[in-house]
A and B are shown apart, each in its own frame.
Chain A
C-alpha cells in the first residue's frame, strides 16, 4: 500500500488544483462524464496490470476493442441476435483470444511482446476485413436498449461502467491480494524459475493472467462500443493498450513484474482520464493534450520516487 500512496497524493492534489481552476470540475455533469470514462478504462487496465504483475505485457487490447465492437454490431444490428446471446458470444471470443495468447506465451514460451504485437496487427486486420472497412454502428438501439444502459446509463446517479469497475476491482483485489493464486502471480513476476521450483504450476498461472486480461478487455470493449455508438474498424481503440499499461505503471506496477496493486491501477487509470478532462476544463489548447499527459505522468512518477526514497531513509 506504500507504493500507491505517492500517486494517490498527486491525484488528489491534481483534482484540487483543477477544481480551483474550474469549479465545474466537481459539478454533477462533469463527475458523471469523467467517472464513466474512468470505469471503461479502469476495467481493462486491471487486466493489463495483472498481466504486467506476472511479468508479461498485453499489446493487443486496442485491436481487440475494434474486433469486439465490429462483431457486436454485426450480431446485434445485422443479424438481430438477442443481446444477452451477443454479449456472451463476444465475451467468449475475448476469453478465447486471451487463452490463445496465453497458451503461446506460457506453454510454448514465445515472448509476450511478440505474441501480443502480432495479435495487435491480426485482430485489427480481421476487424477491418469482416466489416469491409465500413464504420459499424448501433443506431437507435432498438431491441437492445438494455445493454446500451450498461455503457450510457446511470444507477442512483452513478454511471454504470464505474459501478462495474468497482465490482470488478473488489473481485480482482481479493483474487490478487487475498488468495494464494494472487501470491503465485506475484511470485512468478519476481522470479518465474524460483516459483516453478517451489512447486507452482507457472504455466497455468501465466495462462490465467492472459485469460483474465482477455475477459476484462472484452467487457471494456462492449462498454466502449456503446460509448461511441459507432466503431470505425481502422481507428477504434487505437493505442488504447498504452492507456492500460500507463495506468498500471503509474499506479505502481513494475514492468519487471512482481509489483503493483489493484488500488494503484485504478488510481492510475483515473489519473489519465482526469488529465484529459482538465485540458478541456482549464481551456488548455487540445494540441497540448498529450504534452500535458506526458508531463503530469512524469511528475507523478518522480514524486512517487521521492516519497518512496524518503520512506526507506526514515526507516
Chain B
C-alpha cells in the first residue's frame, strides 16, 4: 500500500510546484520598462525620506520601474546579494549607498561594468561609478562646529555621541568638527558609542551628565542621538546648563529646535538623494550619456530657531506624499 502512495504523492507535489510557479509568474508583473534600483542603508527615517524622493521621481517617470531596497547596517554582503539579484533580473541602472566605501570598491567596479552606478551618501573616489550624489559629511561636520561655537562663545568642553565611531560618515563628521573647532578654545573630550541602540544612547547621556559635569555641549552625530540627548537632559533637569547640537531631522529634534531646547541641527537632504539619483539615471539610460556630471553635492543645511518653522512645513509636505 505505501508503495503505491509514494508516486502518487510525488505527482501531487510536482503538480503543486508547477501551480505555485505559475502563480508566482502571474504575481510578478513583468513588463519591458527599464528598471532603476536604489539600494539604501538600514531602514531609518533618513532612508525612508530618500524613498519618498524616489517615489516622486517614479511618478514623474512613467516609462521606468523604480525599486527601493533597504539593507541591514554593516551587512555589505547583503548589498552584494541584492545587487546580484537585481542584475539577474536585468536592472538598467543602480543607485547605491555603500555601507563600507573603502572595501566595496571592487564590488562597485564590477557592477559598474554591467550597468551605470550612481553612488550616494558616501563616495568611493576612483571607482568606476557614473556619478557621486550626496552631501559632504566633512562640510556637515564643519556646519555643526559653527553651531557649537555659537552655543559656547567662551569656549568649553564638548562630548560626542554616535552609533558607531568607525562608520565612514561618523568619521567624516568628526573630522569636520575637529577642523572647525581648532583654536577656538573648545575641546572634544570624548566620543560615546551605542551600537545603534537607543536605550544605550540615552543611558550614555545620563552617564556623562554624572561623570563629566564640566561638559557644556552635547553633540549627537547620528539622527537618533538628538532625541536621546534631549530626553536625558530634560529628565535630569539640566536643559538650562547644557547646550545640544545634533544632526538630521528626527521629529523630536525639530520640536526641540522649535522650543529652543536644541541650539540647532545640521540636515542633509535625503529626499534629494533619492529623487535626483533616479532622475539622473533615467536621463543616462534614455541615451543622454554625455550630460552625466561626476559629482552632485547637495549642501548640508543648518536648521536653527530662525528657519525651523519653514523646514518643518517642508518636511510635512514631503512625508505626506
A residues contacting B by CB (< 8 A) are: 22, 24, 27, 29-30, 33, 37, 40, 128, 132-135, 137, 139-140, 152, 224, 227-230, 232-236, 238, 276-277, 280-281, 283, 285-287, 289
A128 and chain B: residue at smallest CB distance: B43
- Indicate if B76 sits at the interface (CB-CB under 8 A): no
Cβ contacts under 8 Å, B197 to chain A: 235, 238
A35 CB to nearest B CB, Å:
12
State the CA gap A29–B72 with chains docked (Å). Answer: 36
* Given A276-B200, A281-B210, 5 extra CB contacts under 8 A: A135-B44, A137-B227, A227-B199, A277-B203, A280-B207
Known A137-B252, A229-B252, A232-B44; contact A29-B227, beta-carbon cutoff 8 A: no
Q: Is the CB of B48 within 8 A of A132?
A: yes
Structural contact, B48 and A134, CB atoms closer than 8 A = yes
Which among B91-99, B172-180, B228-236, B289-297 touches the partner chain? B228-236
Decide: B206 and A33 in contact? CB cutoff 8 A: yes
The docked-state distance in angstroms from the alpha carbon of A121 to that of B211 is: 38
B210 in complex: contacting residue of A24, A37, A128, A286, CB < 8 Å: A24
> Which of B165, B202, B235 is in CB contact (< 8 Å) with A228?
B202
9 tightest Cβ-Cβ pairs between the two chains A and B: A280-B207, A133-B43, A286-B193, A228-B198, A33-B206, A234-B43, A30-B210, A281-B211, A24-B210
Please report the total number of B residues contacting A with Cβ < 8 Å. Answer: 40
- B102 touches A (CB below 8 Å): no
The interface residues of chain A lying within 8 Å CB-to-CB of B210 are 24, 27, 29-30, 33, 281
CB distance from B30 to the nearest CB of A (A): 25
CB distance from B254 to the nearest CB of A (A): 11
- Residues of A close to B209: CB separation below 8 A: 29
Check A283/B211 contact, CB under 8 A, given A135-B250, A234-B42: yes
B211 and A22 contact, CB distance less than 8 A: yes
**Contact present for A235 and B196 (CB under 8 Å):** yes
Query: Which listed residue (A33, A133, A152, A227) contacts B48, Cβ 8 A?
Result: A133
Distance, CA A287 to CA B43, complexed state (A): 24
- Given A33-B207, A137-B251, check contact A286 B198 (CB 8 Å): no
Within 8 A of A (CB), among B270-304: none
B contacts, CB < 8 Å to A? 42-45, 48, 70, 72-73, 165, 190-204, 206-211, 224, 227-228, 231, 235-236, 250-252, 255
Whether the pair A287, B165 counts as a contact (CB closer than 8 A) is yes
Q: Are B224 and A230 in contact (CB under 8 A)?
A: yes
Q: Chain B residues with Cβ under 8 A from A22's Cβ? A: 211
List the B residue with the shortest CB-CB distance to A25. Answer: B210
- Residues from chain B with a CB closer than 8 A to the CB of A134 are 45, 48
Distance between A310 CB and nearest chain B CB, rounded to angstroms: 36
Docked Cα-Cα span, A47 to B269, in Å, equals 44
**A127: shortest Cβ distance to chain B, in Å?**
11
- A232 touching B211 by the CB < 8 A rule? no
Name which residue of chain B comes closest to A233, CB basis: B43
User: Shortest Cβ distance from B42 into chain A, in angstroms?
Assistant: 6
Q: Which of the listed residues B42, B210, B235 has the most CB atoms from chain A within 10 Å of its own CB?
A: B210
Q: Which residues of A contact B207 (CB under 8 A)?
A: 30, 33, 277, 280-281
Give every chain B residue within 8 A of A29 (Cβ-Cβ): 206, 209-210, 236
Contact at A228–B228, with CB atoms within 8 Å?
yes
Q: A134-B48, A235-B198 are in contact. Are A230 and B252 (CB under 8 A)?
A: yes
Q: Are A280 and B196 neighbours in the complex by a CB distance under 8 Å?
A: no
Chain B nearest CB: distance from A100 CB in Å?
26
Q: Are A135 and B228 in contact (CB under 8 A)?
A: no
Could you say which residues of chain A place their CB within 8 Å of the CB of B190? 283, 285
Interchain nearest-CB distance for B246 vs A (Å) = 13
Across the interface, do B44 and A234 meet the contact criterion of CB distance under 8 Å?
A: yes
Least Cβ–Cβ distance between B211 and chain A, in angstroms? 5
